[in-house]
């Protein structure tokens, strides 16, 4: 394809089944836009190449020989894009109704439009609150808890998609989830795409920050819905890898936006919060013995905050192994492009 209105870029990592359904939903629900689909496989080799060749030969497939991370893989896909606009879409999503066409229309008509995001739904159809987020600060990261979001759904400090339930028109927001982000190609290029300072997590917040600093406005469109199954690549229960990389990536972002001292303050504050939560969880232990589900929740919470405390104390040293890859080197070699019909 030599030109398109929209390039849909999907980064795959061990999500071939989700990817198949994602592409099927795009084709079934998007008809009034000239678009292309680009899939970048970040060295998962999970059979997606053969699946695309057999079912969707029109999809442009790019194989990376190394797992270069979410940000770099999206940038690779954008390098092959022909569209005047770009949709960055997770493989574990399914488009509902005319969501993509609605987002595209808003992108063309909203003033100073930066990133356009949609209403994300969980697999059971409930609202996925992380579709809208505030740019991180120490305060909102320490207070980031589902129960607080339920108690204070309209809080700007704890901003989530709950605040905009019932909105009938696009609303300006600070940050949009990386599961679904639509942006003009020239704006994406202007801010040099995703920052490769992050292997995973926070790169979407970083992009939203750069868009705001460039003078554009990010918008949330509540009447465009996409189902985001969540955890398609990392499983539903967060791994130790995720629990460490999330605060590590957030710390890097805070260092960029607020300075080194602020980032250090975040690490200290999160460590103190981890100690506090571990104490509370320990006091709750007798009550968890009544129900198996309660115990499973308690065990998961203990594991999470123990790992976060270790990270805060600098004991998860393996995280620094990603620094070399993020600065270039081996991760930047040998990305190969090949269409599935070749």
Which pLDDT tens digit goes with each residue over 82-133? 999 999 999 999 999 999 999 999 999 999 999 999 999 999 999 999 999 9
CB-CB contact of 251 with 261 (8 Å): no
Task: Report residue 240's pLDDT band, with 50, 70 and 90 as the boundaries.
Answer: confident
Mean pLDDT of 224-245: 74
Least confident of 1-15, 108-122, 221-235: 221-235
Using CB atoms within 10 Å of the CB of residue 234, give its burial: 0 to 12 exposed, 13 to 18 middle, 19+ buried.
middle
At 294 the pLDDT is: 77
Task: Report residue 238's pLDDT band, with 50, 70 and 90 as the boundaries.
Answer: low
- pLDDT per residue over 11-59, tens digit each? 999 999 999 999 999 999 999 999 999 999 999 999 999 999 999 999 9
Task: Report residue 338's pLDDT band, with 50, 70 and 90 as the boundaries.
Answer: very low
Please count the other Cβ atoms lying within 10 Å of the Cβ belonging to residue 290: 9
CA angle 67, 69, 72 (to 5 degrees): 110
Asked if residue 316 has pLDDT above 70, the reply is: yes
Least confident of 25-34, 192-201, 258-267: 192-201
75 vs 177: CA distance, rounded Å = 17
At 2 the pLDDT is: 64
At 158 the pLDDT is: 73
133 vs 149: CA distance, rounded Å = 11
Residues 6+ apart with CB under 8 A from 132: 117, 159, 160, 161, 163, 164, 173, 175, 176, 177, 220
Mean pLDDT of 162-183: 93
φ/ψ of 109, rounded to 5, equals -115, -25
Task: Report residue 341's pLDDT band, with 50, 70 and 90 as the boundaries.
Answer: very low
CA angle 44, 236, 223 (to 5 degrees): 95
Please count the other Cβ atoms lying within 10 Å of the Cβ belonging to residue 186: 10
CB-CB contact of 86 with 185 (8 Å): yes
- Beta strands 83-89 and 4-12 are parallel
CB-CB contact of 83 with 60 (8 Å): no
Which of 339 and 288 is assigned the larger pLDDT? 288
């Amino acid at each position: 394809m030599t030109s398109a209105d929209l390039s849909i870029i999907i980064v795959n990592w061990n999500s071939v089944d989700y990817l198949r359904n994602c592409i099927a939903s795009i084709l079934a629900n998007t008809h009034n836009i000239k678009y292309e689909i680009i899939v970048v496989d970040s060295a998962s080799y999970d059979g997606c190449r053969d699946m695309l060749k057999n079912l969707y030969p029109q999809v442009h497939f790019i194989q990376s020989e190394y797992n270069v991370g979410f940000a770099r893989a999206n940038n690779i896909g954008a390098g092959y894009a022909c569209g005047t606009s770009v949709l960055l879409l997770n493989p574990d999503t399914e488009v509902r109704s005319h969501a993509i066409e609605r987002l595209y229309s808003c992108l063309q008509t909203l003033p100073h439009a930066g990133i356009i995001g949609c209403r994300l739904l969980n697999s059971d159809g409930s609202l996925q609150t992380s579709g809208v987020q505030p740019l991180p600060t120490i305060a909102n990261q320490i207070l980031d808890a589902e129960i607080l979001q339920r108690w204070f759904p309209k809080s700007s400090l704890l901003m989530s998609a709950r605040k905009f339930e019932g909105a009938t028109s696009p609303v300006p927001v600070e940050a949009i989830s990386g599961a679904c982000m639509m942006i003009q190609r020239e704006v994406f290029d202007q801010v040099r795409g995703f920052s490769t300072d992050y292997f995973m997590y926070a790169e979407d917040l970083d992009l939203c920050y750069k868009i705001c600093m460039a003078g554009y406005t990010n918008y949330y469109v509540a009447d465009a819905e996409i189902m985001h199954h969540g955890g398609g690549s990392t499983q539903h229960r967060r791994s130790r890898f995720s629990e460490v990389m999330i605060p590590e990536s957030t710390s890097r972002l805070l260092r960029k936006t607020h300075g080194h001292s602020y980032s250090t303050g975040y690490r200290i504050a999160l460590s103190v919060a981890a100690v506090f939560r571990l104490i509370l969880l320990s006091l709750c232990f007798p009550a968890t013995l009544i129900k198996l589900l309660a115990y499973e929740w308690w065990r998961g919470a203990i594991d999470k905050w123990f790992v976060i405390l270790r990270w805060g104390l600098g004991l998860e040293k393996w995280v620094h192994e990603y620094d070399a890859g993020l600065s270039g080197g081996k991760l930047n070699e040998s990305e190969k492009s090949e269409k599935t019909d070749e």
